[in-house]
Amino acid sequence: MDQVHGEQIRLTLPATPQLMRVARLTAAGLASRLGFSLDEVEDLKIAVDELCFAMVGTRGREGTLTLIYRMSVDTLEIEGSSDFDERTVGSAASELSALILAAVVDEHELVDSDSTLRFRLKKRRAARVEHPG
């Protein structure tokens, strides 16, 4: 496997739902590169979808969404931030998203502050059990 410790990728997209697929596929590709299982990759795709759609909504917004993917030996961390003029996240949507995220990633947060709307998630690769063969 390639050396990926400390590697970082920045992705900036228009805040449209149609382009959230790019964010999800980037996470899947990087997780695969880190040796995540298929189930772990699917969990990450779900998490990225939840957080991106919580920020962008189903109709999109004016502005951009920037994602930073940070890789270490067994962890993928993704941070997202926006430059939206309007920075509100629906409470029902964020409550449901929090439940889903708690089931699929190790750490997550969605912050709606005065300065920006941002999220962070972290997924660790499960320890592999070696079977003598």
Over residues 29-64, the pLDDT tens digits come to: 999 999 999 999 999 999 999 888 888 888 888 889
- The β-bridge partners of 124 are 75
Task: Read off the pTM.
Answer: 0.84
Question: Could you count the other beta carbons within 10 Å of the beta carbon of residue 114?
Answer: 5
Mean pLDDT of the chain: 85
67 or 86, which is more confident: 67
What value does the mean pLDDT take over residues 61-85?
91
**Cα–Cα dist 32/64, whole Å:** 26
pLDDT over 50 (residue 94): yes
What confidence score (pLDDT) does residue 58 get?
84
Helices 20-33/38-56 angle, 10° precision? 150
CATH topology classification for 7-124: Heat Shock Protein 90 (3.30.565)
What single DSSP character describes residue 60? Answer: -
Domain ranges of the chain: 7-124
What confidence score (pLDDT) does residue 1 get?
41
What confidence score (pLDDT) does residue 87 get?
56
pLDDT over 90 (residue 129): no
Range with the poorest average pLDDT among 17-21, 33-37, 109-113? 109-113
Q: Which residues contact 130 (CB under 8 A, 6 or more apart)?
A: none
What value does the mean pLDDT take over residues 80-98?
71
